[in-house]
Structure 1
Amino acid sequence: MGVRLAFLPCCSLEPHRRNWTLFVIQDANGLRFSADDLARMLVGTGARSGPLYRQLSESLTELIERGELPQGAALPPERALAQALTVSRTTVVAAYQALREQGLLERRQGSGTRVSADRARETVSGLAGDHAASQFLNGPLATIDFATAALPSLDLVADVAAGLTRDDYLRLTGTHHGYHLRGLPALRERIARWYSDAGMPTAPEDILITSGAQQALELVARGCLQPGDGVVVEQPTYRGALEAFGRTGNRLRTVRIDDEGLDVIALEKLLATESPRLVYVQTAAHNPTGVVLSDDRRQRLTRLLDQHEVVLVDDTSLAGTSFDGRPSAPALTTHERLVTIGSMSKLFWGGLRLGWIRAVPQVVSRLAQVRGITDLGSSLVAQEVALRLMDHRDAAEAERRTALPTGLRTLTELLDRHLPDWTWREPQAGASLWVRLPQGDATHFAQIALRYGVALLPGAVFSADGSTDDHTRLPYSLPTATMSQGVTRLAQAWTDYLNRATVDVTLTSAVT
Structure 2
Amino acid sequence: MIQDGNGLRFSADELARRLVGTGARSGPLYRQLSDSLAELIERGELPPGSALPPERALSEALTVSRTTVVAAYQALREKGQLERRQGSGTRVAPDRNRETVSGLAGDHAASQFLSGPLATIDFATAALPSLDLVADVAAGLTRDDYLRLTSTHHGYHLRGLPALRERIARWYSDAGTATAPEDILITSGAQQALELVARGCLQPGDGVIVEQPTYRGALEAFARTGSRLRTVRIDERGLDVAALERLLTNESPRLVYVQAAAHNPTGVVLADDRRQRLAKLLDQHEVVLVDDTSLAGTAFDGRTTPAALGTHERLITIGSMSKLFWGGLRLGWIRAVPQVVSRFARVRGITDLGSSLVAQEVALRLLDHRATAETERRTALPVGLRTLTELLGRHLPDWSWQDPQAGASLWVRLPHGDATHFAQIALRYGVALLPGAVFSADGSTDHHTRLPYALPPATLTQGVTRLAQAWTDYLNRTTVDVTLTSAVT
Would you call these one fold, judging by a TM-score over 0.5? yes
Partner of residue 325, structure 2: 348
Offset of 1:118 from its aligned partner? 4.4
Contact between 1:234 and 1:280, CA under 8 Å: does it hold in 2? yes
Rounded Cα–Cα distance in structure 1 between residues aligned with 2:437 and 2:213: 9
Aligned to 1:283: 260
**Matching residue of 1:19:** none
Answering whether residue 28 of structure 2 is matched by residue 51 of structure 1, we say: yes
* 1:183–1:210 Cα contact (<8 Å) kept: yes
Paired residue type of 1:175 = T
RMSD: 1.0
1:22-67 deviation per Cα after TM superposition (whole angstroms, max 9, x unaligned): xx21112210000011111111111111100011111111111111
Q: Which amino acid aligns with 2:113?
A: F
1:202-281 to 2 correspondences below 5 Å: 202-281=179-258
TM alignment of 1:283-362, pairs within 5 A: 283-362=260-339
Q: One-letter code of the match for 2:343?
A: R
CA contact (8 A) 1:142 1:454 kept: no
Is 2:44–2:102's contact at 8 Å kept on the other side of the alignment?
Answer: no
Asked if the contact 1:70–1:120 (Cα under 8 Å) also holds between the matched residues in 2, the reply is: no
Secondary structure class of the residue paired with 2:359 = helix
Tell me the secondary structure at the aligned position of residue 196 of structure 1. Answer: helix
CA distance in 2, matches of 1:374, 1:396: 33
d(CA) in 2 for partners of 1:150, 1:364: 28
Q: C-alpha displacement at 1:354, in angstroms?
A: 0.3
Q: Which moved more, 1:327-336 or 1:380-389?
A: 327-336
- Cα separation, 1, equivalents of 2:101 and 2:136: 43
Written as runs of structure 1 = structure 2, the 5 A alignment for 1:476-491 is 476-491=453-468
CA distance in 1: counterparts of 2:450 and 2:216, whole angstroms: 12
Name the CA distance, whole Å, in 2 between partners of 1:203 and 1:430: 28
Report the TM-score when normalising by structure 2: 0.99
Amino acid at match of 2:402: R
Residue 38 of structure 2 corresponds to: 61
Q: Which amino acid aligns with 2:469?
A: Q
* SS of alignment partner, residue 310 of structure 2: coil
Long gaps (5+) in structure 2: none
- In 1, Cα distance between the equivalents of 2:483 and 2:365? 63
Q: Pairwise mapping of residues 163-202 of structure 1 onto structure 2 (< 5 A)?
A: 163-202=140-179
Partner residue, 1:410: 387
Whole-angstrom CA distance in 2 between matches of 1:125 and 1:118 = 13
Does 1:97 find its partner at 2:97?
A: no
Query: Which amino acid in 2 is paired with 1:319?
Result: A
Q: How many residues align?
A: 489
Query: Percent of counterpart pairs with the same letter?
Result: 88
Q: Give distance in 1, aligned partners of 2:150 and 2:77.
A: 56
Which residues of structure 1 form unaligned runs of 5+?
Answer: 1-23
TM-score (norm 1): 0.94
- What is aligned with 1:391? 368
Residue 287 to residue 274, structure 1, CA distance change in 2 (3 Å)? same
The separation in 2 between residues aligned to 1:327 and 1:61, in whole angstroms, is 45
**Bigger mean CA offset, 142-151 vs 491-500:** 142-151
Shift of 1:331: 3.4
C-alpha separation between the residues in 2 aligned to 1:174 and 1:139?
36
How far apart, CA to CA, are the structure 2 residues paired with 1:402 and 1:330? 23
**1:471 and 2:427 are equivalent in the alignment:** no
Answer whether contact 2:307 2:317 (CA < 8 A) is retained. Answer: no
The whole-number CA distance in structure 1 between the counterparts of 2:96 and 2:460 is 42
Q: Which amino acid aligns with 1:292?
A: V
1:465, distance to aligned residue in structure 2 (A): 0.1
Q: For residue 332 of structure 1, what is the amino acid of its counterpart?
A: L
Match of 1:494 among 465, 471, 474: 471
- Residue identity in the other structure for 2:103: G
2:356 aligned with 1:379, yes or no?
yes
